[in-house]
Structure 1
Protein backbone atom coordinates (compact mmCIF):
# COMPACT_ATOMS: atom_id res chain seq x y z
CA UNK A 1 0.00 0.00 0.00
CA UNK A 2 2.82 2.38 0.97
CA UNK A 3 4.80 1.49 -2.14
CA UNK A 4 1.75 2.13 -4.31
CA UNK A 5 1.22 5.55 -2.75
CA UNK A 6 4.90 6.37 -3.20
CA UNK A 7 4.85 5.31 -6.85
CA UNK A 8 1.72 7.36 -7.41
CA UNK A 9 3.37 10.39 -5.82
CA UNK A 10 6.47 9.97 -7.99
CA UNK A 11 4.29 9.66 -11.11
CA UNK A 12 2.37 12.79 -10.16
CA UNK A 13 5.61 14.64 -9.53
CA UNK A 14 6.90 13.71 -12.99
CA UNK A 15 3.79 15.00 -14.72
CA UNK A 16 4.69 18.32 -16.34
CA UNK A 17 2.93 21.39 -15.05
CA UNK A 18 0.27 22.54 -17.48
CA UNK A 19 0.98 25.83 -19.19
CA UNK A 20 -1.53 27.61 -21.39
CA UNK A 21 1.29 29.46 -23.14
CA UNK A 22 4.78 28.45 -24.23
CA UNK A 23 7.63 27.97 -21.77
CA UNK A 24 9.90 29.93 -24.12
CA UNK A 25 9.57 33.57 -22.91
CA UNK A 26 9.80 34.99 -26.44
CA UNK A 27 7.06 32.73 -27.78
CA UNK A 28 4.97 33.23 -24.65
CA UNK A 29 5.07 37.02 -25.02
CA UNK A 30 3.97 36.78 -28.67
CA UNK A 31 1.15 34.40 -27.82
CA UNK A 32 0.02 36.62 -24.97
CA UNK A 33 -0.12 39.61 -27.31
CA UNK A 34 -2.19 37.78 -29.93
CA UNK A 35 -4.67 36.66 -27.27
CA UNK A 36 -4.92 40.27 -26.11
CA UNK A 37 -5.29 41.53 -29.69
CA UNK A 38 -7.95 38.98 -30.69
CA UNK A 39 -10.92 40.85 -29.12
CA UNK A 40 -9.55 44.10 -30.55
CA UNK A 41 -9.58 42.94 -34.16
CA UNK A 42 -12.68 40.84 -33.50
CA UNK A 43 -14.74 43.81 -32.32
CA UNK A 44 -13.38 46.08 -35.06
CA UNK A 45 -14.04 43.59 -37.87
CA UNK A 46 -17.43 42.64 -36.45
CA UNK A 47 -18.44 46.30 -36.21
CA UNK A 48 -17.70 47.14 -39.84
CA UNK A 49 -18.90 43.82 -41.27
CA UNK A 50 -22.14 43.25 -39.39
CA UNK A 51 -23.38 46.83 -39.30
CA UNK A 52 -23.21 47.20 -43.06
CA UNK A 53 -20.44 49.81 -43.01
CA UNK A 54 -18.10 47.65 -45.09
CA UNK A 55 -20.85 47.14 -47.68
CA UNK A 56 -20.52 50.83 -48.56
CA UNK A 57 -16.74 50.82 -48.65
CA UNK A 58 -14.63 50.53 -51.76
CA UNK A 59 -11.03 49.48 -52.23
CA UNK A 60 -9.40 52.43 -50.46
CA UNK A 61 -11.48 52.22 -47.29
CA UNK A 62 -11.31 48.43 -47.02
CA UNK A 63 -7.58 48.37 -47.68
CA UNK A 64 -6.90 51.11 -45.13
CA UNK A 65 -8.95 49.29 -42.49
CA UNK A 66 -7.23 45.98 -43.25
CA UNK A 67 -3.78 47.57 -43.11
CA UNK A 68 -4.52 48.93 -39.63
CA UNK A 69 -5.68 45.50 -38.40
CA UNK A 70 -2.69 43.82 -40.05
CA UNK A 71 -0.23 46.35 -38.59
CA UNK A 72 -1.47 45.71 -35.07
CA UNK A 73 -1.10 41.96 -35.48
CA UNK A 74 2.26 42.13 -37.25
CA UNK A 75 4.08 44.79 -35.23
CA UNK A 76 2.45 44.54 -31.81
CA UNK A 77 4.53 41.52 -30.72
CA UNK A 78 7.72 43.51 -31.41
CA UNK A 79 6.54 46.41 -29.26
CA UNK A 80 5.52 44.16 -26.36
CA UNK A 81 8.41 41.74 -26.72
CA UNK A 82 9.93 39.61 -24.00
CA UNK A 83 13.08 41.05 -22.39
CA UNK A 84 15.01 38.07 -23.77
CA UNK A 85 14.15 39.15 -27.33
CA UNK A 86 15.29 42.74 -27.08
CA UNK A 87 18.52 43.29 -28.95
CA UNK A 88 18.27 40.01 -30.86
CA UNK A 89 18.49 40.05 -34.67
CA UNK A 90 15.06 40.35 -36.27
CA UNK A 91 15.24 37.01 -38.07
CA UNK A 92 15.97 35.18 -34.81
CA UNK A 93 12.84 36.38 -33.05
CA UNK A 94 9.83 34.10 -32.73
CA UNK A 95 7.49 37.01 -33.51
CA UNK A 96 9.18 37.49 -36.88
CA UNK A 97 9.24 33.79 -37.72
CA UNK A 98 5.57 33.17 -36.95
CA UNK A 99 4.69 36.33 -38.91
CA UNK A 100 6.57 34.91 -41.91
CA UNK A 101 4.81 31.55 -41.50
CA UNK A 102 1.33 33.04 -41.21
CA UNK A 103 1.94 35.52 -44.05
CA UNK A 104 2.95 32.72 -46.42
CA UNK A 105 -0.07 30.72 -45.31
CA UNK A 106 -2.37 33.73 -45.79
CA UNK A 107 -1.14 34.48 -49.30
CA UNK A 108 -1.28 30.88 -50.50
CA UNK A 109 -4.52 30.14 -48.67
CA UNK A 110 -6.36 33.09 -50.18
CA UNK A 111 -4.87 32.78 -53.66
CA UNK A 112 -5.22 29.02 -54.08
CA UNK A 113 -7.57 27.98 -51.28
CA UNK A 114 -10.53 30.32 -51.81
CA UNK A 115 -11.61 28.26 -54.83
CA UNK A 116 -12.46 25.46 -52.40
CA UNK A 117 -14.87 27.80 -50.61
CA UNK A 118 -16.44 28.98 -53.86
CA UNK A 119 -16.77 25.53 -55.43
CA UNK A 120 -17.40 23.19 -52.49
CA UNK A 121 -18.82 25.27 -49.64
CA UNK A 122 -20.73 27.57 -52.03
CA UNK A 123 -19.36 30.69 -50.37
CA UNK A 124 -19.91 34.17 -51.79
CA UNK A 125 -18.16 37.52 -51.27
CA UNK A 126 -20.05 40.77 -51.76
CA UNK A 127 -17.19 43.24 -51.25
CA UNK A 128 -17.34 46.16 -53.68
CA UNK A 129 -13.69 45.87 -54.65
CA UNK A 130 -11.83 46.17 -57.92
CA UNK A 131 -8.47 45.31 -56.42
CA UNK A 132 -8.78 41.54 -56.35
CA UNK A 133 -6.07 38.93 -56.62
CA UNK A 134 -7.28 35.67 -58.16
CA UNK A 135 -10.89 36.69 -57.47
CA UNK A 136 -10.18 37.45 -53.80
CA UNK A 137 -10.35 41.05 -52.46
CA UNK A 138 -6.85 42.22 -51.50
CA UNK A 139 -7.91 43.39 -48.00
CA UNK A 140 -8.73 39.78 -47.08
CA UNK A 141 -5.10 38.76 -47.55
CA UNK A 142 -4.16 41.23 -44.81
CA UNK A 143 -7.03 40.40 -42.46
CA UNK A 144 -6.20 36.70 -42.67
CA UNK A 145 -2.84 37.36 -40.99
CA UNK A 146 -4.62 38.67 -37.89
CA UNK A 147 -7.16 35.84 -37.90
CA UNK A 148 -4.61 33.07 -38.23
CA UNK A 149 -2.19 34.57 -35.73
CA UNK A 150 -4.97 34.03 -33.19
CA UNK A 151 -5.77 30.53 -34.46
CA UNK A 152 -2.10 29.54 -34.10
CA UNK A 153 -2.20 30.41 -30.39
CA UNK A 154 -5.50 28.59 -29.80
CA UNK A 155 -4.32 25.43 -31.56
CA UNK A 156 -1.05 25.52 -29.61
CA UNK A 157 -3.00 25.83 -26.35
CA UNK A 158 -5.09 22.83 -27.36
CA UNK A 159 -1.95 20.77 -27.98
CA UNK A 160 -0.43 21.73 -24.64
CA UNK A 161 -3.67 20.89 -22.88
CA UNK A 162 -3.59 17.42 -24.44
CA UNK A 163 0.13 16.93 -23.82
CA UNK A 164 0.53 18.31 -20.30
CA UNK A 165 -2.90 17.81 -18.73
CA UNK A 166 -4.70 14.97 -20.51
CA UNK A 167 -1.77 12.62 -21.15
CA UNK A 168 -0.52 12.39 -17.51
CA UNK A 169 -4.06 11.65 -16.31
CA UNK A 170 -5.45 9.55 -19.18
CA UNK A 171 -2.71 8.47 -21.61
CA UNK A 172 -5.19 6.71 -23.89
CA UNK A 173 -6.99 10.01 -24.49
CA UNK A 174 -3.89 11.97 -25.44
CA UNK A 175 -4.09 11.55 -29.21
CA UNK A 176 -7.89 11.90 -29.41
CA UNK A 177 -7.61 15.14 -27.44
CA UNK A 178 -4.67 16.39 -29.50
CA UNK A 179 -6.46 15.67 -32.79
CA UNK A 180 -9.72 17.17 -31.53
CA UNK A 181 -8.15 20.52 -30.61
CA UNK A 182 -7.71 21.81 -34.20
CA UNK A 183 -11.29 20.82 -35.05
CA UNK A 184 -12.66 22.69 -32.03
CA UNK A 185 -10.89 25.85 -33.21
CA UNK A 186 -12.10 25.18 -36.76
CA UNK A 187 -15.68 24.81 -35.54
CA UNK A 188 -15.45 28.18 -33.81
CA UNK A 189 -14.08 29.78 -36.97
CA UNK A 190 -16.82 28.23 -39.14
CA UNK A 191 -19.56 29.33 -36.73
CA UNK A 192 -18.30 32.92 -36.77
CA UNK A 193 -18.25 32.98 -40.57
CA UNK A 194 -21.56 31.23 -41.24
CA UNK A 195 -23.72 33.84 -39.54
CA UNK A 196 -26.74 35.56 -41.12
CA UNK A 197 -25.67 39.13 -40.28
CA UNK A 198 -23.07 39.45 -43.04
CA UNK A 199 -25.15 38.46 -46.06
CA UNK A 200 -24.16 41.60 -47.89
CA UNK A 201 -20.47 40.67 -47.65
CA UNK A 202 -20.06 36.95 -47.03
CA UNK A 203 -22.47 34.05 -46.94
CA UNK A 204 -22.96 30.36 -47.69
CA UNK A 205 -25.81 28.98 -49.78
CA UNK A 206 -25.95 25.96 -47.44
CA UNK A 207 -25.01 27.20 -43.94
CA UNK A 208 -25.45 23.82 -42.23
CA UNK A 209 -23.23 22.10 -44.80
CA UNK A 210 -20.70 24.92 -44.55
CA UNK A 211 -20.60 24.53 -40.78
CA UNK A 212 -20.10 20.77 -40.87
CA UNK A 213 -17.96 20.25 -43.97
CA UNK A 214 -16.21 23.57 -43.50
CA UNK A 215 -15.22 22.54 -39.98
CA UNK A 216 -13.82 19.29 -41.38
CA UNK A 217 -11.80 21.13 -44.03
CA UNK A 218 -10.52 23.83 -41.67
CA UNK A 219 -9.82 21.26 -38.98
CA UNK A 220 -7.65 19.27 -41.37
CA UNK A 221 -5.75 22.44 -42.25
CA UNK A 222 -5.09 23.19 -38.59
CA UNK A 223 -4.20 19.56 -37.90
CA UNK A 224 -1.61 19.58 -40.69
CA UNK A 225 -0.19 22.92 -39.55
CA UNK A 226 -0.18 22.10 -35.82
CA UNK A 227 3.18 20.24 -35.72
CA UNK A 228 4.84 23.18 -37.45
CA UNK A 229 3.25 25.71 -35.11
CA UNK A 230 3.85 23.89 -31.85
CA UNK A 231 7.39 22.89 -32.85
CA UNK A 232 8.48 26.43 -33.69
CA UNK A 233 10.69 27.73 -30.84
CA UNK A 234 8.55 25.96 -28.22
CA UNK A 235 11.49 25.12 -25.97
CA UNK A 236 13.87 27.77 -24.60
CA UNK A 237 17.27 27.55 -26.25
CA UNK A 238 16.00 25.71 -29.34
CA UNK A 239 15.51 28.18 -32.18
CA UNK A 240 14.64 27.29 -35.76
CA UNK A 241 16.33 29.28 -38.55
CA UNK A 242 13.95 31.40 -40.60
CA UNK A 243 14.83 29.44 -43.75
CA UNK A 244 13.40 26.30 -42.19
CA UNK A 245 10.28 28.25 -41.22
CA UNK A 246 9.74 29.23 -44.85
CA UNK A 247 10.23 25.66 -46.05
CA UNK A 248 7.88 24.42 -43.33
CA UNK A 249 5.15 26.87 -44.31
CA UNK A 250 5.43 25.91 -47.98
CA UNK A 251 5.43 22.20 -47.16
CA UNK A 252 2.44 22.55 -44.85
CA UNK A 253 0.42 24.41 -47.45
CA UNK A 254 1.28 21.84 -50.13
CA UNK A 255 -0.17 19.14 -47.87
CA UNK A 256 -3.21 21.31 -47.14
CA UNK A 257 -3.76 21.93 -50.85
CA UNK A 258 -3.62 18.18 -51.50
CA UNK A 259 -6.08 17.54 -48.65
CA UNK A 260 -8.49 20.12 -50.06
CA UNK A 261 -8.29 18.56 -53.51
CA UNK A 262 -9.02 15.14 -52.04
CA UNK A 263 -12.03 16.51 -50.16
CA UNK A 264 -13.27 18.34 -53.26
CA UNK A 265 -12.94 15.47 -55.71
CA UNK A 266 -13.52 12.39 -53.57
CA UNK A 267 -15.61 13.35 -50.54
CA UNK A 268 -17.68 16.46 -51.23
CA UNK A 269 -19.53 15.05 -54.29
CA UNK A 270 -21.22 12.58 -51.94
CA UNK A 271 -22.84 15.45 -50.04
CA UNK A 272 -23.18 18.42 -52.38
CA UNK A 273 -22.80 19.59 -55.97
CA UNK A 274 -19.24 20.77 -56.55
CA UNK A 275 -19.36 23.87 -58.77
CA UNK A 276 -16.02 23.47 -60.54
CA UNK A 277 -14.62 26.78 -61.72
CA UNK A 278 -17.28 28.92 -60.07
CA UNK A 279 -16.20 32.30 -58.72
CA UNK A 280 -18.31 33.51 -55.82
CA UNK A 281 -17.39 37.19 -55.96
CA UNK A 282 -20.43 39.48 -56.26
CA UNK A 283 -22.46 36.72 -57.95
CA UNK A 284 -25.81 37.94 -56.63
CA UNK A 285 -28.11 36.07 -59.02
CA UNK A 286 -29.41 32.91 -57.37
CA UNK A 287 -27.04 33.13 -54.41
CA UNK A 288 -27.41 33.94 -50.72
CA UNK A 289 -25.75 37.34 -51.17
CA UNK A 290 -27.84 40.37 -50.36
CA UNK A 291 -27.60 42.86 -53.27
CA UNK A 292 -26.32 46.36 -52.42
CA UNK A 293 -28.96 48.75 -51.13
CA UNK A 294 -31.30 46.09 -49.79
Structure 2
Protein backbone atom coordinates (compact mmCIF):
# COMPACT_ATOMS: atom_id res chain seq x y z
CA UNK A 1 0.00 0.00 0.00
CA UNK A 2 1.48 3.38 -1.02
CA UNK A 3 1.75 6.22 1.48
CA UNK A 4 -0.90 8.24 -0.41
CA UNK A 5 -3.39 5.39 -0.63
CA UNK A 6 -2.88 4.56 3.05
CA UNK A 7 -4.37 7.95 3.93
CA UNK A 8 -7.73 6.94 2.56
CA UNK A 9 -10.29 4.27 3.33
CA UNK A 10 -9.74 0.67 2.30
CA UNK A 11 -13.26 0.89 0.87
CA UNK A 12 -12.57 2.11 -2.70
CA UNK A 13 -16.02 3.71 -3.02
CA UNK A 14 -15.20 5.89 -0.01
CA UNK A 15 -11.53 6.46 -0.84
CA UNK A 16 -12.03 8.24 -4.17
CA UNK A 17 -14.69 10.52 -2.69
CA UNK A 18 -12.37 11.48 0.16
CA UNK A 19 -9.67 12.27 -2.39
CA UNK A 20 -12.05 14.51 -4.28
CA UNK A 21 -13.14 16.28 -1.08
CA UNK A 22 -9.53 17.08 -0.22
CA UNK A 23 -8.74 18.18 -3.78
CA UNK A 24 -11.78 20.48 -3.80
CA UNK A 25 -10.77 22.10 -0.49
CA UNK A 26 -8.37 24.71 -1.99
CA UNK A 27 -11.01 25.51 -4.64
CA UNK A 28 -13.69 26.54 -2.16
CA UNK A 29 -11.12 28.32 -0.02
CA UNK A 30 -10.05 30.37 -3.06
CA UNK A 31 -13.69 31.13 -3.82
CA UNK A 32 -14.22 32.47 -0.29
CA UNK A 33 -10.93 34.40 -0.34
CA UNK A 34 -11.84 36.15 -3.60
CA UNK A 35 -15.21 37.15 -2.22
CA UNK A 36 -13.53 38.66 0.85
CA UNK A 37 -10.78 40.41 -1.12
CA UNK A 38 -13.22 42.00 -3.56
CA UNK A 39 -15.71 42.98 -0.86
CA UNK A 40 -18.45 41.17 -2.74
CA UNK A 41 -20.09 40.00 0.48
CA UNK A 42 -20.97 43.66 1.13
CA UNK A 43 -21.87 44.72 -2.40
CA UNK A 44 -23.69 41.81 -4.02
CA UNK A 45 -27.45 41.46 -3.96
CA UNK A 46 -29.17 38.66 -2.08
CA UNK A 47 -29.57 36.71 -5.33
CA UNK A 48 -25.89 37.09 -6.24
CA UNK A 49 -24.82 35.93 -2.79
CA UNK A 50 -27.09 32.89 -3.02
CA UNK A 51 -25.70 32.09 -6.46
CA UNK A 52 -22.11 32.28 -5.19
CA UNK A 53 -22.92 30.13 -2.16
CA UNK A 54 -24.66 27.49 -4.26
CA UNK A 55 -21.88 27.50 -6.86
CA UNK A 56 -19.34 26.97 -4.07
CA UNK A 57 -21.20 24.10 -2.39
CA UNK A 58 -22.93 22.18 -5.18
CA UNK A 59 -19.75 20.73 -6.77
CA UNK A 60 -19.36 18.66 -3.58
CA UNK A 61 -22.49 16.82 -4.68
CA UNK A 62 -22.56 17.17 -8.47
CA UNK A 63 -18.95 16.32 -9.34
CA UNK A 64 -18.91 13.01 -7.40
CA UNK A 65 -22.32 12.22 -8.89
CA UNK A 66 -20.90 12.68 -12.39
CA UNK A 67 -17.71 10.75 -11.63
CA UNK A 68 -19.69 7.90 -10.09
CA UNK A 69 -21.70 7.52 -13.32
CA UNK A 70 -18.45 7.05 -15.19
CA UNK A 71 -17.02 4.59 -12.67
CA UNK A 72 -20.25 2.63 -12.09
CA UNK A 73 -18.90 1.37 -8.76
CA UNK A 74 -22.21 0.96 -6.90
CA UNK A 75 -25.89 1.95 -7.14
CA UNK A 76 -26.42 5.67 -6.61
CA UNK A 77 -28.52 5.11 -3.47
CA UNK A 78 -25.73 3.04 -1.91
CA UNK A 79 -22.87 5.34 -2.91
CA UNK A 80 -20.63 7.00 -0.38
CA UNK A 81 -20.75 10.34 -2.23
CA UNK A 82 -24.50 10.51 -1.62
CA UNK A 83 -24.36 9.37 2.01
CA UNK A 84 -21.49 11.73 2.85
CA UNK A 85 -23.41 14.69 1.38
CA UNK A 86 -26.61 13.62 3.13
CA UNK A 87 -24.87 13.36 6.49
CA UNK A 88 -23.17 16.74 6.10
CA UNK A 89 -26.39 18.41 4.94
CA UNK A 90 -28.32 17.18 7.99
CA UNK A 91 -25.57 18.02 10.47
CA UNK A 92 -24.87 21.37 8.79
CA UNK A 93 -28.57 22.26 8.92
CA UNK A 94 -28.55 21.67 12.66
CA UNK A 95 -25.40 23.76 13.02
CA UNK A 96 -26.97 26.73 11.28
CA UNK A 97 -30.62 26.51 12.27
CA UNK A 98 -30.06 25.78 15.96
CA UNK A 99 -26.34 26.05 16.65
CA UNK A 100 -26.01 29.61 15.34
CA UNK A 101 -28.28 30.80 18.15
CA UNK A 102 -25.73 29.48 20.64
CA UNK A 103 -22.93 31.29 18.80
CA UNK A 104 -24.92 34.53 18.84
CA UNK A 105 -25.95 34.51 22.50
CA UNK A 106 -23.09 32.64 24.19
CA UNK A 107 -19.99 33.07 22.02
CA UNK A 108 -20.66 36.64 20.87
CA UNK A 109 -20.75 35.98 17.12
CA UNK A 110 -22.20 38.78 14.99
CA UNK A 111 -23.56 38.50 11.45
CA UNK A 112 -24.20 41.77 9.62
CA UNK A 113 -25.34 41.04 6.08
CA UNK A 114 -28.11 43.54 5.31
CA UNK A 115 -27.92 42.52 1.65
CA UNK A 116 -28.53 38.83 2.49
CA UNK A 117 -32.26 39.04 3.03
CA UNK A 118 -33.07 35.33 2.67
CA UNK A 119 -32.73 33.95 6.19
CA UNK A 120 -33.62 30.81 8.12
CA UNK A 121 -33.08 30.05 11.80
CA UNK A 122 -34.79 28.75 14.93
CA UNK A 123 -37.95 30.45 16.17
CA UNK A 124 -38.03 29.32 19.80
CA UNK A 125 -34.32 28.86 20.51
CA UNK A 126 -32.10 31.83 21.33
CA UNK A 127 -32.82 35.52 21.86
CA UNK A 128 -33.80 36.06 18.22
CA UNK A 129 -31.84 39.31 17.91
CA UNK A 130 -29.93 38.00 14.88
CA UNK A 131 -30.86 35.92 11.87
CA UNK A 132 -28.94 33.36 9.82
CA UNK A 133 -28.57 34.05 6.07
CA UNK A 134 -29.32 31.00 3.94
CA UNK A 135 -25.93 31.42 2.24
CA UNK A 136 -24.36 30.13 5.47
CA UNK A 137 -26.00 26.73 4.96
CA UNK A 138 -24.16 26.33 1.66
CA UNK A 139 -20.83 27.57 2.99
CA UNK A 140 -21.09 25.34 6.05
CA UNK A 141 -21.48 22.33 3.76
CA UNK A 142 -18.05 22.82 2.19
CA UNK A 143 -16.43 23.78 5.50
CA UNK A 144 -17.73 20.63 7.16
CA UNK A 145 -16.80 18.54 4.12
CA UNK A 146 -13.15 19.48 4.57
CA UNK A 147 -13.17 19.19 8.35
CA UNK A 148 -14.73 15.73 8.31
CA UNK A 149 -12.65 14.37 5.43
CA UNK A 150 -9.40 15.51 7.05
CA UNK A 151 -10.53 14.10 10.40
CA UNK A 152 -11.15 10.74 8.70
CA UNK A 153 -7.58 10.74 7.41
CA UNK A 154 -6.10 11.64 10.80
CA UNK A 155 -8.22 9.20 12.80
CA UNK A 156 -7.56 6.41 10.32
CA UNK A 157 -3.81 6.72 10.80
CA UNK A 158 -4.25 6.46 14.56
CA UNK A 159 -6.56 3.44 14.42
CA UNK A 160 -4.28 1.57 12.03
CA UNK A 161 -1.36 1.84 14.44
CA UNK A 162 -3.20 0.06 17.26
CA UNK A 163 -1.30 1.89 19.99
CA UNK A 164 -1.88 0.88 23.64
CA UNK A 165 -4.44 3.11 25.32
CA UNK A 166 -6.41 3.62 22.11
CA UNK A 167 -9.58 4.09 24.17
CA UNK A 168 -8.09 7.40 25.34
CA UNK A 169 -5.96 8.34 22.35
CA UNK A 170 -8.84 8.25 19.86
CA UNK A 171 -11.17 10.75 21.62
CA UNK A 172 -8.23 13.04 22.40
CA UNK A 173 -7.29 13.01 18.70
CA UNK A 174 -10.91 13.76 17.77
CA UNK A 175 -10.91 16.82 20.02
CA UNK A 176 -7.50 18.04 18.83
CA UNK A 177 -8.49 17.88 15.15
CA UNK A 178 -11.81 19.56 15.94
CA UNK A 179 -10.14 22.31 17.96
CA UNK A 180 -7.60 23.01 15.21
CA UNK A 181 -10.32 23.44 12.59
CA UNK A 182 -12.52 25.50 14.94
CA UNK A 183 -9.61 27.83 15.71
CA UNK A 184 -8.58 28.14 12.07
CA UNK A 185 -12.14 28.90 10.92
CA UNK A 186 -12.57 31.52 13.63
CA UNK A 187 -9.27 33.19 12.78
CA UNK A 188 -9.83 33.05 9.02
CA UNK A 189 -13.41 34.32 9.00
CA UNK A 190 -13.12 37.04 11.63
CA UNK A 191 -10.51 38.98 9.67
CA UNK A 192 -10.19 42.71 8.81
CA UNK A 193 -11.64 42.14 5.33
CA UNK A 194 -14.93 41.05 6.91
CA UNK A 195 -14.78 43.25 10.00
CA UNK A 196 -18.15 44.86 9.28
CA UNK A 197 -19.92 41.65 8.17
CA UNK A 198 -18.73 38.93 10.53
CA UNK A 199 -16.94 39.23 13.85
CA UNK A 200 -16.81 38.12 17.47
CA UNK A 201 -17.37 40.62 20.26
CA UNK A 202 -14.45 39.14 22.25
CA UNK A 203 -12.12 37.72 19.65
CA UNK A 204 -9.28 36.65 21.94
CA UNK A 205 -11.63 34.79 24.27
CA UNK A 206 -13.33 33.16 21.31
CA UNK A 207 -10.02 31.92 19.90
CA UNK A 208 -8.83 30.59 23.23
CA UNK A 209 -11.98 29.18 24.83
CA UNK A 210 -14.72 29.54 22.27
CA UNK A 211 -12.83 27.36 19.79
CA UNK A 212 -12.86 24.57 22.36
CA UNK A 213 -16.62 24.97 22.70
CA UNK A 214 -17.04 25.04 18.91
CA UNK A 215 -14.95 21.85 18.80
CA UNK A 216 -17.76 20.03 20.63
CA UNK A 217 -19.53 19.92 17.25
CA UNK A 218 -16.73 17.74 15.97
CA UNK A 219 -16.27 15.80 19.19
CA UNK A 220 -19.83 14.60 18.59
CA UNK A 221 -19.68 14.21 14.81
CA UNK A 222 -16.21 13.04 13.77
CA UNK A 223 -16.40 9.56 15.38
CA UNK A 224 -19.83 8.89 13.85
CA UNK A 225 -18.90 10.16 10.40
CA UNK A 226 -15.63 8.20 10.47
CA UNK A 227 -17.46 4.86 10.55
CA UNK A 228 -19.77 5.77 7.66
CA UNK A 229 -18.97 3.03 5.10
CA UNK A 230 -15.43 2.67 6.49
CA UNK A 231 -15.88 -1.09 6.19
CA UNK A 232 -17.30 -1.88 2.76
CA UNK A 233 -18.80 -5.10 4.14
CA UNK A 234 -20.89 -3.05 6.59
CA UNK A 235 -22.32 -0.25 4.47
CA UNK A 236 -24.82 2.16 5.95
CA UNK A 237 -28.27 2.66 4.50
CA UNK A 238 -29.56 6.16 3.80
CA UNK A 239 -31.73 5.91 6.91
CA UNK A 240 -28.72 4.96 9.05
CA UNK A 241 -26.83 7.90 7.58
CA UNK A 242 -29.58 10.34 8.54
CA UNK A 243 -29.84 8.73 11.99
CA UNK A 244 -26.08 9.14 12.46
CA UNK A 245 -26.22 12.83 11.55
CA UNK A 246 -29.20 13.42 13.83
CA UNK A 247 -27.42 11.60 16.67
CA UNK A 248 -24.37 13.84 16.20
CA UNK A 249 -26.66 16.88 16.20
CA UNK A 250 -28.34 15.89 19.47
CA UNK A 251 -25.00 15.09 21.11
CA UNK A 252 -23.79 18.52 20.06
CA UNK A 253 -26.91 20.07 21.58
CA UNK A 254 -26.12 18.46 24.92
CA UNK A 255 -22.43 19.40 24.81
CA UNK A 256 -23.19 23.04 23.93
CA UNK A 257 -25.68 23.29 26.78
CA UNK A 258 -23.24 21.73 29.26
CA UNK A 259 -20.56 24.17 28.09
CA UNK A 260 -22.92 27.13 28.55
CA UNK A 261 -23.73 25.92 32.07
CA UNK A 262 -20.06 25.58 33.02
CA UNK A 263 -18.57 28.57 31.20
CA UNK A 264 -21.44 30.97 30.62
CA UNK A 265 -21.36 33.63 27.91
CA UNK A 266 -17.99 34.87 26.71
Give the TM-score normalised by structure 2: 0.87
Report the 3-state secondary structure (helix = DSSP H, G, I; strand = E; otherwise coil) of the residue aligned with 1:124.
strand
Counterpart in 1 of 2:205? 209
- Count how many residue pairs are aligned between Structure 1 and Structure 2: 252
Q: How far apart in 1 are the matches of 2:138 and 2:193?
A: 22
* 2:118 partner SS: coil
Is contact 1:106–1:145 with CA below 8 Å preserved after alignment? yes
Pair 1:41-2:32 in alignment: no
Q: Is 1:198 aligned with 2:185?
A: no
Residues 127-174 of structure 1 show CA distances to partners (whole Å, capped at 9, x for unaligned) of 122211121001111111111111110111121122224x44986983
- 2:147 and 2:167 map into 1 onto residues whose CA distance is 26
Distance 1:158 1:207, change over 3 A: same
Bigger drift between 244-253 and 45-54 goes to 45-54
Match of 1:11 in 2: none
> 1 CA distance for matches of 2:200 and 2:37?
15
Flag structure 1 segments of 5+ consecutive residues without an equivalent: 1-16, 273-294
Show CA shifts across 1:36-72 (max 9, x none).
1111010111111243121011210000111111211
Match of 1:255 in 2: 251
Task: Pick closer, same or farther for the CA change 1:50–1:262 going to 2, 3 Å.
Answer: farther
- Return closer, same or farther for 1:262/1:26 CA change in 2, 3 Å cut-off: same
Partner of 1:115: 101
Contact 1:124 1:204 in 2 (8 A): yes
Measured on the aligned residues, the alpha-carbon RMSD in Å equals 2.3
Residues 141-156 of structure 1: pairs in structure 2 closer than 5 A: 141-156=137-152
Distance in 2 of aligned mates of 1:268 and 1:18: 44
> Which residue in the other structure is 2:39 paired with?
52
Distance 1:192 1:80 in 2: 31
Structure 1 residues 178 and 256, CA, compared in 2 at 3 Å: closer, same or farther?
closer
Of stretches 215-224 and 34-43 in structure 1, the one that deviates more from structure 2 is 215-224
1:62 match: 49
Asked whether the 8 Å contact 1:24–1:236 carries over to 2, the reply is: yes
Query: For 1:225 and 1:172, how far apart are their aligned partners in 2?
Result: 17
Indicate which of 60, 73, 82 corresponds to 1:96: 82
Question: How far has the Cα of 1:194 moved from its partner?
Answer: 2.9
Q: CA deviation at 1:81?
A: 3.5
**TM-score, normalised by the number of residues in structure 1:** 0.79
Rg larger in 1 or in 2? 1
Give the direction of change, closer, same or farther, for the CA distance of 1:65–1:214 in structure 2 (3 Å limit): same
CA deviation after TM superposition for structure 1 residue 266, in Å: 2.6
Unaligned runs of 5+ in 2: 122-130
TM superposition shift of 1:201: 1.7
| Preserved CA contact (<8 Å) 2:13 2:73 | no
Q: Distance in 1 between matches of 2:256 and 2:163?
A: 34
1:138 corresponds, among 134, 137, 153, to: 134
Whether the 8 Å CA contact 2:10–2:231 is kept in 1: the answer is yes
